Structures are given as structure tokens and as C-alpha cells.
Structure 1
Amino acid sequence: MDPRGSSHGRVTRSCPFGGIEARLTRVDYTPMPIQQP
């Protein structure tokens, strides 16, 4: 009864894509002061 083990391929595909998209959206929506000088 492990959702991670059941859809391992789906999680791996959504993991890298979701992380990259979330980061771009976050920076575009709320520019972090860390990146700015």
C-alpha cells in the first residue's frame, strides 16, 4: 500500500519537472532577495 512504490515512474517524472516549474514560477511571482545583490 505504498503510493510512491506503485507510481514510481510517475513520481520521478513529475519530480524534476515539478521542481523546475515551481522554482521558475516562484522567482517570477516573488523575486527572492538572495538572488538580488
Structure 2
Amino acid sequence: ESNQAAFQISAKDGWTELFASHPPLKKRIAALQAL
């Protein structure tokens, strides 16, 4: 459950930014691995 809560927080703060701004592939991979 704590992982889900952390994901919801990061989703609010980061995912829109992440996909809207098309960051470097390394950043996208790191974000996915952080899941």
C-alpha cells in the first residue's frame, strides 16, 4: 500500500511532466525502474 501511495504522489508531481516534456530516454527508464 505504501508503494501505491508513493506512486500516486509521484504521478501527480512527475508523470504529466515526464510525458509532456519528452525527457531523455535515461530519465524515462529511471522513472519506470523506480516503480
Q: Which category describes the TM-score, using the shorter chain as reference length?
A: 0.3 to 0.5
Q: Provide TM-score, normalisation by structure 2.
A: 0.36
User: Larger Cα Rg: Structure 1 or Structure 2?
Assistant: 1
Q: Which has the higher helix share?
A: 2
Q: Provide TM-score, normalisation by structure 1.
A: 0.35
